[in-house]
Structure 1
C-alpha cells in the first residue's frame, strides 16, 4: 500500500475541517506537518486531490472519488481497534460535547460523575453555546439540540421529550394575584426569549389561538429566564428539565395545569454523518438516553 494511515487522516481531516490549520488542530499536529502529509499522498498517487487557492480548498474529481474510499479505510480501522477492547471500561479518548447552558447545568453536570466513574478512561469536554453551531468547525463529537432538526448532514438520536410548563414564583403570585383564566396573562409581566422566538409561543389558548407571549423582559437562554422567574420578575414558560426541581420544592408554581395543551420539546443527541461512530461517543449517547427516560 502506497498511502499511510497518517496521510489518509490528514487528507480526510482537511476536507472535513475546510482548512489545513483547522485540520492540524483537530489532529493535534502542526499545520506544516499536515500539509506535508497531503503532499506526500498526492505525490505517491500522482494526482491532485485538493485544489488550493489563497482563499479555499476544493476537492478535485479524483479527490472526491478517493475521499469515500479513504473514509471507509479509516472507519474500518477504528472499528477493528474498538473490537479489540473487550471491556467498555477500557475505552479511552476525549468526547467534546456541546449544548445550551441550561441543559449543561441541569442535566449533564449532575450526570458527569456517574458517567466518568463508569468509564474512567474517557475524558469529557463540555462547551456551551445557546445557538446552533457547526460541529466540524468547533471540533464537536456530539451536540444536544432541541426541537425539530433540519440539518440532513447529521445523525440524530432522540433522547427524550421534555414537556413545557407555565410557571411563576409564589412571591409573584402573592403580589399580583392568582390567575384564573388564560387571558389573564395579558395583564401580567411575562418573561421570554430574545433570540429563539418560537419559544415565546406558549402551549395554551388565549382568545381561540396559541398564546404568543409579549415579554416585558427577555433573555437569551433558559437559565436566565428561570432565575428571573425565581426572583419574582414575572411568568415564564420553560421545559421540564429546567423547572421540575423548582416545582417540587415549591420555588415555582405550575399554572393552568388543567388548561394547558401538553407540548413536548424534543431533545436529540446529534453527531456528524459518518459510517463508524467512535465507541466512546456511542457509549455516552446511550448512557444519556437511559438516564433521560424519565422525561419521556
Structure 2
C-alpha cells in the first residue's frame, strides 16, 4: 500500500505543531483521524517515526530522515499546484490548432495578432487539413469543424453558423450570362468538391423537388481553391459566408439565384477529445475567438458572416 499525500501532510504538521491535537486543528480534522493517519503511515513504512510520551512527541532517527523527504514531496506538490494556478491565470505553452484551410485563412489567421498580444506566452501551431483528422494521432489540442458533427468521442463548443450561397464573379456572368432558374445551372461551369460528396448538394431545389446535386466541371479538395477559381471567372460555386463575405462586400463575387436559395447555415464547432483536460490554452483561444467574432472583443469588428 502506497503512502498518500494526506498522510505525509499529517506527519509534517504533527512535527511542526508539536502535538496531534494542534495538528488536527490546523488540518481541520478530528484528533482521532489525525492519529489514524499517522499510524497508517508508520504501518506502511514499517517503522516508528515518532516516540509518544505523556508530555511530548519526539522524532526517531528514521522519522528525522523521512521528514526531509516528506517535506520535499509536499513542497513539490505545492509548487506544481501554484504553477497550474499561474498557467490558468496566464495560459502558456504550445497550442496545436487544426482547421480546414479556408477557415484557417479567413477566420483564425486574422485573429492571431490580437490573441498573441493578449496571451504572449502561448505558442501557436496552426495546421490545415481539408478532411477530418484524428486529434490524438495528429497531437492536436483543438480543431474547428464546419458542418454536422458525427464523432461522439468529442467534446464540442458551438462557435456559430455560416450561411451557404451560390456565387459567381461579375466577369463570369458577363461572359456566360446570369442563370435565372435552377435548371439553367446545368448549362454553366459548376465548381465543386471532390470529397465529401455531400458538399456538392447546393441549397437549391431541382426540378424533381429533390435537393440540387451538381456534377462539377472542376472539382477540388479545398474550398479556398474553389474560391480562387470563382474569383478568376472559372465558374459558379457554392461556398460559406465566412470565406466569401468580403468578396461579396467588394463586389468581386455576386450571389446567383438569391430568391431560389434556401437559408442553409453550417454549424461551426470547436472540438477536442472527451478525455483531454480542457487546458487554459484551449479555453483562452476559443473564448477569444467567440468574443471577437461576436463583437465583444476589441481586436477587430464583429464578423459579418457569423450567425449565433
TM-score (norm 1): 0.71
Q: CA–CA distance in 1 between the matches of 2:88 and 2:261?
A: 47
Number of the residue aligned with 1:115: 115
Runs of 4+ in 1 over 3 A off after TM superposition: 1-4, 76-83
Tell me the secondary structure at the aligned position of residue 86 of structure 2.
coil
Long gaps (5+) in structure 1: 5-75
**Aligned residues, how many?**
224
- CA change 1:184–1:96 in 2 (3 A) is same
Long gaps (5+) in structure 2: 5-76, 295-302
Could you say which structure has the larger radius of gyration? 2
Q: Quote the RMSD (CA, aligned, Å).
A: 2.4
Deviations 1:106-158 (A, max 9, x none): 11110100000011111100011111111111111001111111111110001
Q: CA–CA distance in 1 between the matches of 2:148 and 2:78?
A: 34
Number of the residue aligned with 1:153: 153
Tell me the secondary structure at the aligned position of residue 137 of structure 1.
coil
Q: CA–CA distance in 1 between the matches of 2:125 and 2:2?
A: 36
Q: CA–CA distance in 1 between the matches of 2:140 and 2:117?
A: 22
State the shift of 1:85 in Å. Answer: 2.3
Number of the residue aligned with 1:247: 248
Matches within 5 A, 1:161-200: 161-200=161-200
Q: CA–CA distance in 1 between the matches of 2:100 and 2:170?
A: 27
Does the 8 Å contact 2:91/2:284 carry over to 1? Answer: no
Matches within 5 A, 1:71-86: 80-81=81-82, 84-85=85-86
Does the 8 Å contact 1:79/1:276 carry over to 2? Answer: no
Q: CA–CA distance in 2 between the matches of 1:279 and 1:148?
A: 26
Number of the residue aligned with 1:102: 102
Q: CA–CA distance in 1 between the matches of 2:97 and 2:175?
A: 42
Number of the residue aligned with 2:220: 219
- CA change 1:241–1:199 in 2 (3 A) is same
Number of the residue aligned with 1:268: 269
